[in-house]
Amino acid sequence: MSLFWKQVLQSLVFGLVLPGILFSTVRKVPEAPVDPPTAQTQIWIPVIGEDGRLRAMELEDYVFRVVLGEMPAGFHMEALKAQAVAARTYTLWMVRTGDRHGGAVCTDFSCCQEYREPEAYLEAGGSGESVEKVLSAVEQTRGQVLYYGEELIMATYFACAGGRTEDAAVVWGTNYPYLQSVSSPETTGYDDDVVEVPVEDFLGALGCAPEDRLGSVIYTEGGGVASVSIGQQKYTGVELRSLFGLRSTVFQLDVTDDKVLFRTKGFGHRVGLSQYGSDALAQQGQRYDQILAHYYQGTTLGEVRND
């Protein structure tokens, strides 16, 4: 990375670090932002870093790094803005419900959300223009979150739905009125992945006998596999995805003499906002608020309330 970009990042992105505290950054506010939010109050959240230390971090700084890690900067600006609102809402939901780390969030994607420092992004080949674009998406939605009634929503999201999202109740066993199955117009993404499993390994993982045969396959409203009958047993699509490392529960199951083939579409749990679907909707001309209203039906877009 050039000295020029290091100086740009230091002036635009990074904050002043003291022991245990990460202070707010000074940002370059984009010219003429679309529908600029009025709230400018800083909100501090507890964040556990890679070193395991708990620090106070300004919410927008955290969201910026999450969006930089979660969504390709080449996506449409309206998709990036939708992602920023979803990430901000989900972050505050975790903090206020204590769902992770007793009310803190972390920088580990396997636990909370993907998180990318801009310096690491540039060193990995990302461009300064992409950093600015993501920063602009976060600034243009500063302080905006999603509510269902008076409550912050659990704004889950994922990579690619494969044509339709899934009900939360199907995946997690709990119904959320704003996390229902809706269409998702991905035209590119993670389609047609094939996972091959030897029949012996397949049966062993499920505890089935060699004479057990594949029976009925039942699908959900969202197009995922609800259950598969094998012999006298039934297995959910969620269980099979976990056991065999499938990209999603949207799959076809083919059995030959010596192997089982899973042909999958989509990538992720398929509940909430689809990132590739968001980009497709944005390319069709939809604004970020319309994209959010589509994937989180019945919600309202508003500013963070200190309640």
One digit per residue, the tens of pLDDT, for the chain of length 307 reads 443 334 334 433 433 232 233 323 323 333 333 343 444 568 999 999 999 999 999 999 999 999 999 999 999 999 999 999 999 999 999 999 998 899 999 999 999 999 999 999 999 999 999 999 999 999 999 999 999 999 999 999 999 999 999 999 999 999 999 999 999 999 776 767 899 999 999 999 999 998 898 999 999 999 999 999 999 999 999 999 999 999 999 999 998 889 999 999 999 999 999 999 999 999 999 999 999 999 999 999 999 987 6
Per the CB < 8 A criterion, the answer to whether 272 and 296 are in contact is yes
CA distances for 242 relative to 20, 237, 284, 286, angstroms: 37, 9, 34, 34
Determine, yes or no, domain membership for 168.
no
Distance CA 34, CA 45 (A): 26
pLDDT reported for residue 262: 96
pLDDT reported for residue 206: 95
Determine, yes or no, domain membership for 198.
yes
Give the residue among 237, 212, 30 at the shortest CA–CA distance from 132. 30
229 and 108 share one domain: no
Which amino acid is it at 204? G
User: Residue 127's domain spans which residues?
Assistant: 8-155+272-303
Distance CA 97, CA 108 (A): 19
Phi, psi of 283 (to 5 degrees): -65, -25
Determine, yes or no, domain membership for 176.
no
77 and 127 share one domain: yes
The two structure tokens encoding residue 289: 């608020």
Determine, yes or no, domain membership for 245.
yes
User: Angle CA(43)–CA(47)–CA(52) in degrees, nearest 5?
Assistant: 160
Distance CA 212, CA 232 (A): 8
pLDDT reported for residue 300: 98
10 Å Cβ neighbour count for 222? 25
298 and 198 share one domain: no
Which amino acid is it at 218? I
Determine, yes or no, domain membership for 163.
no
pLDDT reported for residue 79: 98
Query: What is the total count of domains within the chain?
Result: 2
